[in-house]
Amino acid sequence: MRRLLTLLAAGVPLAAAVYLPTASAAPENSTASAPFNCATPSLKAPAGTEVESVTAVRQAGGTIHGTGILGGTVDDVPAFCQVTVTLTHPGDNDHAKVQTWLPVSGWNGRFQAIGGSAYAAGDGGVGLGTAVKNGYAVTTTDAGVGDVVDTSWALSSEGQVNTALLKNFASRSQHEAAVVGKEVVGAVYSKRAAYSYFTGCSTGGRQGYMEAQRYPDDYDGILADAPAVNWDEFEVATLWPQVVMNNEKTYPTGCEFDAFTNAAVKACDSLDGAKDGLVNDLERCNFDPRSLIGTKVVCEGKELTITAADAAVVSKIWDGPRTASGKKLWSGVPIGADLKGLAEIEVDTNGTVKGKPFPVPAVWVQLWLKKDPSFDVSTITYSQFTQLFEQSQAEYDKVIGTDDPDLSAFRESGGKLLTWHGLADQYIPTQGTVEYRKQVEQEMGGSGRVDDFYRLFLAPGTDHCGLNGADGSADGLGALRAWVEHGKAPSTLPATLINASQQSVTRDLCSYPQVSRYDGYGDPAVASSFRCVSPSRH
């Protein structure tokens, strides 16, 4: 993600990185001897759709270049059959493209679907190529919408919300891609996949939860990381840092924001028993930003002094949005996360410092709430923020909230749901995922019963989608496969993390609600020096 933000520094940053499932390159139970037919298949349209076109092209593989802003490349992709199916919903004038890539040889007998990023519903090619390289037949859909920050589809020419495309983006196109992708696999290989998986992070994570909630029979296993669930709430909530700065008329520099973050990490680092540059249990971190008032910070050669106003802004951002009467609306940016992600600032041509809102929540407010692309989000007052938050809930929770805690149908189908979420996620507050998990426990009989099919792992010091190789790694898909195919429920998720000193350390991420504790001896850079324990609050 950090690499992508650097690339996009002159344009717009993104809410999610390319999702690269890392599991098991070696094909297991290879079905390479199965008949292979890369020809245009005859397909039955999913319910409610019509098939507009179908093409099948044999591709040589090699280096795959990702499309759109995310770009990226993946090398040494073997030859594959690329089947493209375009669907439409009669009367909606939409055109949703479903791509399925199928290895010519070495298919591991499994089907995988890949979710999207920000406002893109699917993958731009790098995830697809990686999956093929790892032996999977793989599907993604564009849902008939655009690239990650392309929201030209949001409103009709009359200025009304395009409800058909929003429905595609929110739910129905993902399910239709599952139906089409499996059908294509059967046509090309003359047999069905032995197991079906969904993988995604951020928007892709939300899509995975949507599948478990609405279409519980689509997948045997779902890997849904840093999930953008509670979309209608958190999208507005992530505009809060800008609202705070604008209303307080205080705009700390990036250096000052970093000073608060670094001080908080340093203060709360040893709560797990080890000074390792990682904060394991955020709920025990009570760092007070007022302790930095008067501190000198050197930024771009200038010495700045942190003020009480700066500390008040950081306190409000960490606390999260509240109503004028003090009622909490949503979680804030996690302590330890990069505050510059949502509280970015810029200097205009007149030398005036102003906020630079993150585009994903900004356009949600402009297009889906105000229905006005020219609406200036910097004018939002605290009371107007509450109104927008409540409007978003009222209009869109049932459409894209993706927060139904009743997963009984998914459990009964035998499905498994695995999630990791970074505790330093600067774009999607980690606490939203934790609260959803708590709601599922309350709905479905407690943590023990929920652990039978749904497990959550929180990753210290990890930013948004940061275990996908940019700022750490974890083989979530490998753990999910072992759970689905061999009944080995993961009590921990082995990961490589990057600490505050930018050093790699290994950790066994604990299954929620457990947290990691240093055993008092051993190298704090290795996982074996830590154990999972119940946090003191439980």
Q: Which residues contact 307 (CB under 8 A, 6 or more apart)?
A: 250, 293
Question: One-letter amino acid identity for 404?
Answer: D
Dump strand ranges (E) for 245-399: 296-299, 302-305, 345-347, 353-355
pLDDT of res. 92:
97
Rounded CA-CA distance 229/431 in Å is: 11
- 264, 284 Cβ separation under 8 angstroms: no
What amino acid positions are annotated as catalytic residues?
A: 202, 425, 464
The total number of residues written for the chain in this structure: 538
Each residue's pLDDT, cut to its tens digit, for the chain (538 residues) gives 433 343 333 333 344 444 555 555 444 555 545 679 999 999 999 999 999 999 999 999 999 999 999 999 999 999 999 999 999 999 999 999 999 999 999 999 999 999 999 999 999 999 999 999 999 999 999 999 999 999 999 999 999 999 999 999 999 999 999 999 999 999 999 999 999 999 999 999 999 999 999 999 999 999 999 999 999 999 999 999 999 999 999 999 999 999 999 999 999 999 889 898 899 888 889 999 999 999 999 988 999 999 999 999 999 999 999 999 999 999 999 999 999 999 999 998 888 999 999 999 999 999 999 999 999 999 999 999 999 999 999 999 999 999 999 999 999 999 999 999 999 999 999 999 999 999 999 999 999 999 999 999 999 999 999 998 767 899 999 999 999 999 999 999 999 999 888 899 999 999 999 999 999 889 999 999 999 999 875 4
CATH class of 194-227+402-489+509-514: alpha beta
pLDDT of res. 535:
85
Q: How many other CB atoms sit within 10 Å of the CB of residue 89?
A: 21
First to last CA, the chain: 33
pLDDT of res. 20:
58
**CA angle (189, 83, 63) in 5-degree steps:** 100
Cα separation values, 429 from 203, 342, 394, 421, Å: 14, 11, 21, 9
Question: Domain spans of the chain?
Answer: 43-191, 194-227+402-489+509-514, 234-398
Q: Which residues contact 512 (CB under 8 A, 6 or more apart)?
A: 434, 437, 455, 456, 457, 458
pLDDT of res. 153:
97
The neighbouring-strand residues paired with 86 are 53, 97
The neighbouring-strand residues paired with 223 are 199, 418
Residue in 256, 251, 196 with CA at minimum distance from that of residue 220 = 196
